[in-house]
Amino acid sequence: MSLNIVVMAAGKGTRMKSSLPKVLHKLAGRALLQHVLGSTAALAADARIVITGHGADQVEAAVGGEGLRFVRQEPQLGTGHAIQQTVPALTAGGSTLILSGDTPLISTATTRALVDACGGERLVLLTIEYADPTGYGRIVRDAAGEQVLAIVEHKDASDAQRALRECYTGVMAAPTEALKRWVGQLDNNNAQGEYYLTDIVAMAVAEGVPVVAVKTADETEVLGVNSPSQLAHLERRFQLAQAESLMTAGVRLADPARFDLRGTLHCGKDVEIDVNCVFEGAVTLGDGVRIGANCVIRNATIGANARIHEFTHIDGETAGASVGEGALIGPFARLRPGAKLGAEVHIGNFVEVKNSTLAKGAKANHLAYLGDATVGERVNYGAGSITANYDGANKHRTTIGADVHVGSNCVLVAPVTLGDGATIGGGSTITKDVEPGGLAVARGRQTVISGWSRPKKVK
């Protein structure tokens, strides 16, 4: 049986007070619309259609990909008008699932349940009961409370109808051929002067098509976003749910209310995470890892028993970054794309590592930069030392052998190789290779002038 998935994403989102289309505002690091599309990724759809309108070019550029088709709604004259625009794009027969692009946390299980309940024969509505249903379309049932007769929008509802607590969530599944027929019959004779998709319920009842209202008990998955306040509220709900899931699996969070996951986080046993940490992209933490407060970790793998001290920033971007077992990183350290640190490596405060490999036991403890470098085992890299890897046009690599000692405030001008066991005197600028075991000193000779007097300020 064929399946169409339609996501309505044409609205301006006036209350967001932003030039960015509402469906592109981010929740947990992803656009609202991306969340909705992700919830249906596992469904075998014949057509995936996104209805765009306000900011259509931006929306289509942000989520465009294989398997998506865009239909524009210009001007925006209501939800029924939106679906009217999709009719030529719908695959014939089967079912059509209709979702809202600003309701990001609908679950895959719920979308699948709606499609299954529809079966190409029934109109299925996702509903929920609210203690305060103000603003929501009400579900009107027959006297027995079984048959759904209609959905009445809040602004068009009578006092008796407004007292009803069962509400329509904006999500439905409908027989495709019937849906095409129904939306073609819609009119805008209502308080808003819009074409309401909800009016098709009465049409289905009139034709004898079964109307099924499936209730969800999870308010979070049907909450929409219409303002910055609502977005922030939903963000906290989502983050707390993720925190609870991690804690159930054994992760120890110092405070689940001060935790942010904007991607995927896989944790081993006995992982500890302090407050105000942000995880983005794909992050893996091995057994016994401890993350200090106020760290940002993106696209990285942290080995078992590593310690990431406070205020460390690790951003692997597309290349990734990795930290070996038992390594000590930070505080105030920065690991950039391509940083690959071996076991028991120490990277201290205000040290930056980019596109560099450090072997087991290497140390750079203070105020240093390692870019485009290969560093051997047990190297000690002095405070204030840098690899000068960029000549203004191209990047060059520095190779530092095992057991090398680099003194403080050195400049290693790439390309250059320091052989195993070499020693570099503090304050040196090294432009030539150093042989294994050699000592290299490249600095001006110190001069001491006896009897010199410091100039005095003229009064």
Residues with a known catalytic role: 366
Q: Which two tokens stand for residue 13?
A: 């989102």
In contact, 154 and 168? CB cutoff 8 Å: no
* Contact criterion met (CB below 8 Å) for 245 and 263: no
Q: How far apart are CA 26 and CA 184, in angstroms?
A: 34
Q: Is residue 126 within 8 Å of residue 223, measured between CB atoms? A: no
Distance, CA of 383 to CA of 254 (rounded, Å): 33
Decide if 311 contacts 332 (C-beta within 8 A).
yes
C-alpha–C-alpha distance, residues 161 and 140, integer Å: 7
> b/e per residue, 303-329, with b = 16+ CB within 10 A?
bbbbbbbbbbbbbbeeebbbbbbbbbb
Return the closest-CA partner of residue 257 out of 227, 236, 238: 236
